[in-house]
Structure 1
Amino acid sequence: MPHTSAPPTTGDGRREANVAAVLRTVLDHGPVSRSAIARRAGLSPAAVSRQCTDLARIGLIREVPELAASGGVGRPQIPVDLTTGDGGGPVAAGIHIGVPRSTFCVADLRGRVLSRGAFHHDGIPAGELPDAVGRALAAFLAGRAAGGPLLGVGAAVGGWVDPATGTVVRHDALGWHQHPLGSGLRRHTGLPVRVDNHARAVAQSELLFGRPAARRSLLHLFVGNVVDAALAIAGVVHRGPRSGAGDVAHLPVPDSAVACPCGRTGCLEATASDTALAHEAVTRGIVPEPSASLVVDAAAAGDRRADALLRERARAVGRAAGLLLDVLNPDLAVITEQSSLLNPEYLEEIRAAATGHSLVCDDPERIVGPHAGPAALPVAAATVLLNPLFRSPLQALGDVTS
C-alpha cells in the first residue's frame, strides 16, 4: 500500500516547484516516460528522476512496466502514472453541502469517482444541521470500500466562504453565519478538512481535470438554490479580499421583472435560482410542492409546461451569462445548472441566449457544462483537497500527516 510520509522540504522552493511540475505533467499525460516528462516540464532528466523517486516514495505515482516499449535500442523506458484509487492509491473525500441535500464522494487523484452517497436534510433546523451532516459524512466514509489511503476531506458549499479559516461567513439559505464548517467536519471524521465556496471549487476542478482552455481564463457560473460565480486567470482562481469574490446574486438579468427581496427587480438569484424555479412551478400547477428536481423530472417525463419553464430559466441564465462574458471575455465559460447537466437541449438554450446578448462572444462552443457532468459538485468538493496536493505535493502531504 502506498504511504504518505512526505520527505522534508528544504531549500529555496525550487524542489517543491519541480515536484509539482512533474506531478502535473503525469496528471496531464500519464502514463508517460521520464524523458517525455523532462521535455514537457522543462527539467533535466536527472531532476525528473529525483522527483519521480520522491513521488513514488509517497505513493502518488507508480511505474507501469507492462506499458514499457520493447524492441528498441538500449534499456526500455518504463512509463510512470498516477497511483489511482483502483490501484490502491491515495484518495480524497468530497462533500457538497446543498440546501435540500448534501452529496458525498470518494475520488482518486484523477478526480474519478469511486463511490458516492447523499444525505437529504430538508426540515432539519439550521442549528442541528452541521452535526447531522457531519455524522452522515462520517458514516459514509466508514462504509467505503474503494480506494487506498484517505488523505482528507474537501468541502464545498454556497455563499460566502473563507477557505483560510474553513468558515462559512454567510449562507442565508442554510441559516449559517460565521459557521466553523472545517473544524466541525474535522471533529466528526478525524481527518484534515479544507473548505471553499462551491463555485470556486468547480472552477478548480475544471483547471485540474477539465478542458485545456480553462487554464488560460475561466468563468464559472453556478445556478442552484444559491447563485454565484468564480473567475480564474492563468490557472489561479480569484478570491479577492476576505474571499468575498463571486457574489452575482443581484446581477441584473435583461428583460426580467421578477421582484427581489433586496427591493430591486430582475436580480439573477430571484429570477433563475432553483428556489425561484420551484415556486414558479407550483404557481403554474406543474408540480405539487416546490422542488426543482421535480420540475426536471416532469420535463424528462414529457410535461411540456415543465419543459417550457426550464427553457425560460435557461434563457434567463444565458442572458446573465452574456453580461459576464462581455465584462470578462474568458476563454471558457462553464455553467453548472441542474437541467442542462442532464439534458443538452437546455445548455443550447443557455448558449443561444448568451451569444445573442453578448457583444464580444459569438462562439457558443466557449460555453460548456462542467467536465464531470452530474457528478460535478462532489468531484469539485474533493478537488478542494486535491488542488493543494498538485500545487505543492510535499507540503500538502506534510500537512496531512503532521
Structure 2
Amino acid sequence: MTSLKGDQGTTRALNRRLILNEIRRQGPTSRARLAEQTGLSPAAITFVTTELLQEGLLIEKGERRPIPLDIHYSGHFVIGLKLMESRLEAVLTDLSTQILARTSLDLPDHQPETVARYAARAREELCQQSGVDAQKLLGVGMGLPGVIDAKSGICLLSGRFGWKDIPIARLISEHTQLPVWVDNDVNAFAVAERLFGSGKNTPNFVVVTVGRAIGSAIVMEGKLYRGRNGGAGEFGHTLSEYRGRKCECGRLGCLEAYASEHSLLRHFQEISPRHHNIQMEGLLKLIDRKNERILNVLEDAGSRLGRNLADMANLLNPDLIVLGGEGVRLGEAFFRPMRLAFRERAFDCVAEDLPIAIHDWGDDAWARGAAGLATEHFFDFEVQPSEGLENN
C-alpha cells in the first residue's frame, strides 16, 4: 500500500509539472488563469506557485494586477552536445534553449573516453565565454546517431562511430560532474520542438531529418515514443525500392540510399563524371544554376521521400510533420516534388490540412536540440538523468 507521504509527494510533483508546462505553453499567466486552465483549486495554485517562486523557478513579471507568473528561464542553464563525425558541437543555453555561448571542438578520434574528456573541455569553454557559474548548470544533454537506451544512457549501437553497448552518459557525467541525459540526435531535436518549437501545442507530431542520414522521431500524446529499446524512428531504413541501391546499413532499397545528402551527392557524382569530386557546397551552386541533371536527381529523391512520408502519415495520422536537418538547404527543388508525391499517396482524410513545417536549420541546431534533453527535466519530473549526480 502506498504511503500518504508518497501520495502527497506524487501530487506535489504532478501539480508542479502541470503549472510549469501551462506557463511554458501559454507564456506569462496569472494565478487565477492557472486555476482556470489546470483545474487546480486557488489554494493549490497559491501553495505550489509560492514554492516555485521561493525556489527561483518562477518569477513575477510586471506590476499590473493580477501579476502574471513566468518561468525564470534566465536563472538556470544547461549544456547541449552533438557528436559529429569529426567534432563535438556544444552550446550553453538557458531554460528556453536560447543559446548564450557555443563552441566546436575537433576530435582526434571517436573513443568514448575522448568524447567524455572533450565534453568536460566544452563545459569549461562555454562557462568562460558566457560568464555563467558552473554551479548554475542543471545538466548536460547529448544527441548522437544510433540506437540509444535513454533510460540507462547506454549507446546500444552507433555504426557511424563503431560503438556498441557504450555507457556514454556515465562517462560524460564522471568528467563534467553533472547529470547527463543522452538520446538519439533526432529524438533530442524532437524534444526541443515539443518544448519550444512547432510542436509546442501539438500532442501528436512527427519529426523527420534529412542530412548525412535520414531519421525520424515520433511524439504521441505529448510524449516521445522510443520503442522497445530506443530503436523507434529508423525512417531512413524503410523501403523505397525493392532490391534497389545498397544502403550503408547493408540492406537494399532503403530510403536513405536515395534521399540523404550523402546518397544524393554520390548518385550525382556517378551520373556526371566531370563532377566526380564535387561536394555539397558545389552541388548547392549547381542547384542555384538550375543544372538539369541535379534537378532530376532531386525530383526523384524528393518524390521518394514524399511517398514514404505519406506511408508514415497514413499509419500514424499525426497533427503535424516537422522537417529539419542539413537537407533543408536543398530547397524547393527537393521539397516541391516531395509535397506533390505526399499529396498523391496520402489518404485524403490524412493529408487534408496536415501542415508540413520545414525548420530553418543552423549549424548549432543539433546541439540546441540536445540541450532540450536536459531542459526537459525541468518540465517533467519523471525524466530522470541517464547518469549523473543528484541535483541539489
TM-score in terms of structure 1 length: 0.82
Question: 2:206–2:216: 8 Å Cα contact kept in structure 1?
Answer: yes
1:143 matched to which residue of 2?
Answer: 128
Query: Counterpart amino acid of 1:174?
Result: F
Equivalent of 2:261 in 274, 278, 288: 274
2:88 matched to which residue of 1?
Answer: 102
Uncovered stretches (5+) of structure 1, i.e. residues with no partner: 1-7, 70-75
- CA gap of 1:197–1:42, structure 2 versus 1, over 3 A, is same
Equivalent of 1:335 in 320, 323, 335: 323
Equivalent of 1:382 in 368, 371, 378: 371
The 5-angstrom pairing of residues 1-400 of structure 1 reads: 11-65=8-62, 68-69=63-64, 76-85=65-74, 89-121=75-107, 124=109, 126=111, 130-131=115-116, 133-134=118-119, 136-145=121-130, 149-211=136-198, 215-253=202-240, 257-260=244-247, 264-283=251-270, 284=272, 289=277, 291-292=279-280, 294-295=281-282, 297-299=284-286, 302=289, 304=291, 309-340=297-328, 343=331, 346-360=334-348, 361-363=350-352, 365-370=354-359, 375-392=364-381, 400=390
Question: 2:328–2:361: 8 Å Cα contact kept in structure 1?
Answer: no
SS in 1 for 2:351: coil
Question: 1:287–1:295: 8 Å Cα contact kept in structure 2?
Answer: no
Distance in 2 (CA, whole Å) between partners of 1:374 and 1:348 is: 24
- CA gap of 1:103–1:282, structure 2 versus 1, over 3 A, is farther
Across the two proteins, how many residue pairs are aligned to each other? Answer: 381
Distance in 2 (CA, whole Å) between partners of 1:165 and 1:376 is: 25
Question: 1:228–1:246: 8 Å Cα contact kept in structure 2?
Answer: yes
- CA gap of 1:13–1:33, structure 2 versus 1, over 3 A, is same
- CA gap of 1:389–1:330, structure 2 versus 1, over 3 A, is same
SS in 2 for 1:93: strand
Distance in 1 (CA, whole Å) between partners of 2:335 and 2:54 is: 44
Question: 1:201–1:380: 8 Å Cα contact kept in structure 2?
Answer: yes
2:391 matched to which residue of 1?
Answer: 401
Output the aligned Cα RMSD. 3.3
Distance in 2 (CA, whole Å) between partners of 1:199 and 1:159 is: 10
Question: 1:9–1:395: 8 Å Cα contact kept in structure 2?
Answer: no
- CA gap of 1:308–1:169, structure 2 versus 1, over 3 A, is same
Query: 1:290, CA displacement in angstroms?
Result: 7.0
Residue identity (%): 26
Uncovered stretches (5+) of structure 2, i.e. residues with no partner: none
Query: 1:366, CA displacement in angstroms?
Result: 2.0
Distance in 2 (CA, whole Å) between partners of 1:214 and 1:313 is: 31
Q: Which moved more, 1:177-186 or 1:332-341?
A: 332-341
Question: 1:32–1:79: 8 Å Cα contact kept in structure 2?
Answer: yes
Query: Counterpart amino acid of 1:244?
Result: G
Query: Counterpart amino acid of 2:212?
Result: N
- CA gap of 1:58–1:175, structure 2 versus 1, over 3 A, is same
Question: 1:114–1:146: 8 Å Cα contact kept in structure 2?
Answer: no
Query: 1:250, CA displacement in angstroms?
Result: 2.4
TM-score in terms of structure 2 length: 0.84
Query: Counterpart amino acid of 1:37?
Result: L
Distance in 1 (CA, whole Å) between partners of 2:274 and 2:379 is: 46
- CA gap of 1:224–1:99, structure 2 versus 1, over 3 A, is farther
Query: Counterpart amino acid of 2:206?
Result: L
Question: 2:376–2:383: 8 Å Cα contact kept in structure 1?
Answer: no
